[in-house]
Amino acid sequence: MRLRRNFIYLCGQKPKIYIMLLLQALPEFDPDIAEQFVPTDLAADVPMFMGIPIFDALSFKLLIFRFAFNMLVTWIIVHFFYYKKSQRRDYYTTFLLFSVTIFLLIFLLDNVKMQIGFALGLFAIFGMIRYRTETVQIREMTYLFVIIGIAVINGLAMTVSHVELVVTNLIFIVATWILESNKILKHKATKLVLYEKIQLIVPERKAELLEDLKKRTGLDIVGIQIGHIDFLRDAAYIKVSYNPHSRELNTIDELTKANQFAG
């Protein structure tokens, strides 16, 4: 039945004679039943120019519907989950343009094997280059792969039902919502502090160190880690973990190495 449904889908994409030939290859072919699945408006050939259809109404409607649906899902994930925390407009635009480009490339390719190879190649390419011109944080890279994956699925899934496609996209939305929710995973931010009171970094004075950091930074510090110690300058690097006052992500908090602050 699934194979028969796949051929029925082609009725909206190919001429009537071609569909009849495809259905005849199926087991238990019944011409009367097959005739019911072939739209009557496909009896006349689609106008052609140099072997290419001038306008295919059914294909055009499918393109618009799939594109709008893909952009809606992408926008929900980027706007309500990514941008709400990071406030990065550059990545906001990047993710949406990636979705448009990948979807149209996948959708307009005719060879299914080429589509699958192209989709897998995209993941491999972006996994290697990782935007070498700029250090991209893991959160942005994760959203990039999610956006690419959604565009590939919506562009390739031509033989599944609309319900299956909608449920698949809803799974992406729900999973992102759950993982970004502070109720499930409480967000903790980190900062790298260059601390000069080196006498307080010893284990037996940890309580004094924690109290001094809370007082001087005004942060709700929940944990500290002692890093590099410079006895010549009487200073040490301390990574502090704290509960942020807002849900917005502070990009400077993602810098956890001293050399990242250069410049």
Q: Is 47 left (phi over 0), alpha (psi -120 to 50) or beta?
A: beta
Angle at 210 between CA 208 and CA 212, to 5 degrees: 70
The class level of CATH for 189-261 reads: alpha beta
- Residue 150's pLDDT is what? 93
pTM higher than 0.75: no
pLDDT band of residue 116 (cuts 50, 70, 90) is low
Alpha carbon distance 228, 226 (integer Å): 7
Q: Is 229 left (phi over 0), alpha (psi -120 to 50) or beta?
A: beta
- Residue 87's pLDDT is what? 83
pLDDT band of residue 169 (cuts 50, 70, 90) is very high
- Residue 40's pLDDT is what? 47
Q: Determine the 3-state secondary structure of 172 from DSSP.
A: helix
- Residue 254's pLDDT is what? 54
Higher pLDDT, 248 or 103: 103
- Residue 134's pLDDT is what? 60
Q: The tokens of 88 are what?
A: 């990065």
* Sign of torsion over alpha carbons 133, 134, 139, 140: negative
What are the residue boundaries of the structural domains of the chain, listed by start?
2-45, 57-180, 189-261
Q: Of 72-76, 81-85, 155-159, 177-181, which range is least confident?
A: 155-159
- Residue 241's pLDDT is what? 86
pLDDT band of residue 13 (cuts 50, 70, 90) is very low
**How much of the chain, in percent, has pLDDT values that exceed 70?**
64
- Residue 191's pLDDT is what? 85
Per-residue pLDDT averaged across 146-163, rounded?
88
Higher pLDDT, 201 or 85: 201
Asked if 242 and 219 count as a contact pair (C-beta separation under 8 A), the reply is yes
- Residue 179's pLDDT is what? 87
Residue 33 has pLDDT above 50, yes or no: yes
Alpha carbon distance 263, 255 (integer Å): 13
- Residue 263's pLDDT is what? 36
Residue 171 has pLDDT above 50, yes or no: yes
pLDDT tens, residue by residue, 191-209 = 888 999 989 999 899 999 9
Q: What is the mean pLDDT of the chain?
A: 76
- Residue 68's pLDDT is what? 95
Residue 144 has pLDDT above 80, yes or no: yes
Q: The tokens of 171 are what?
A: 């799974």
Q: Determine the 3-state secondary structure of 230 from DSSP.
A: strand
Asked if 203 and 184 count as a contact pair (C-beta separation under 8 A), the reply is no
Q: The tokens of 61 are what?
A: 């409607």
Residue 113 has pLDDT above 80, yes or no: no
| CA proximity to 180, closest of 37, 78, 90 | 78
Q: Which residues pair with 45 in a beta bridge?
A: none
- Residue 70: how many other CB atoms lie within 10 Å: 26
* Sign of torsion over alpha carbons 105, 111, 116, 117: negative
Residue 172 has pLDDT above 60, yes or no: yes
Gap between the terminal Cα atoms of the chain: 64
